[in-house]
Structure formats: structure tokens, C-alpha cells
Amino acid sequence: MTADGLSRVFAALADPTRRDMVARLAGGDATVNQLAEPYTMSLQAVYKHLKVLEEAGLVSRPPGPQPRSVRLELDVFDAVGGWIEQYRRRAEARYQRLDAVLAAMRDKDEARDQERKGHQR
């Protein structure tokens, strides 16, 4: 992945609303209206977020019948994960505690719930 691509992905994931969208899309495809449902913002704002995610390659909108579906593109997470991984490995080597990783992954669900509430800017 190019440096510019990495920047776009990180920038896209820096917004809580967009991370929430990603999390929800991981559970399955959705239409824009379904995606927009939990938020108080306008539909156009949701489209803007979607465009950012799409330009970062995190999401795709396969052509189809009118309520087009939004799909999570998982490939990009490999690239970003690889970038993170090199530093994470150092951390693991340094502190010899793999359990922190597992704890972090166990915490992700409640972190996501917290985040769902704070989606408005």
C-alpha cells in the first residue's frame, strides 16, 4: 500500500462514526438507509462518510438494484494490520506479554458500544 493510501485509511478510521459504520458492516452488508438509521445526522452527511471510506478502499458499493448495498472490503485491513504489526511485535518482544493483546481484543465490544453513543461530533 502506498503512503498516501495508508494516510487515507488512517484518516478514515480516525472518525468514530466511520469506525462504527465499519464495525456494523462487518456484521453484513447494508443499504445506506440502514446504515444511516442509528445516527442523528443528515443522510447527505452519511454519504460523505461513505465516500471517505470508499476512497480509502475500506468499503465498496457493487452495482445493483436501486437500494445499492454497501460492503466492507477486508483486504485493506491486512495492509494496515501489517504496518501496525511491526511495532506490535516489538512491544511483545519487549514486555513478553501476549495476554495484553487478548485482553485488548476482549475489550473491543464494550469499546464499540461506548463509541456508538458518541457518534455525533
Contact footprint for DNA (CB under 7 A): 11, 14-15, 17, 31-33, 40-45, 47-52, 61, 65-68, 119-121
Applying CB under 8 A, the span of 37-45, 47-55, 62-70, 79-87 interacting with its own copies comes to 79-87
- Residue 40 binds its own copies, judged by CB under 8 A: no
Between the CA of residue 99 and those of 80, 104, 105, what are the distances in Å?
Answer: 22, 9, 10
Minimum distance of DNA from residue 17's CB (angstroms): 5
- Residue 37 binds its own copies, judged by CB under 8 A: no
Cα dihedral 36, 18, 101, 29 in deg (nearest 10):
50
Q: Are 9 and 58 in contact (CB under 8 A)?
A: yes
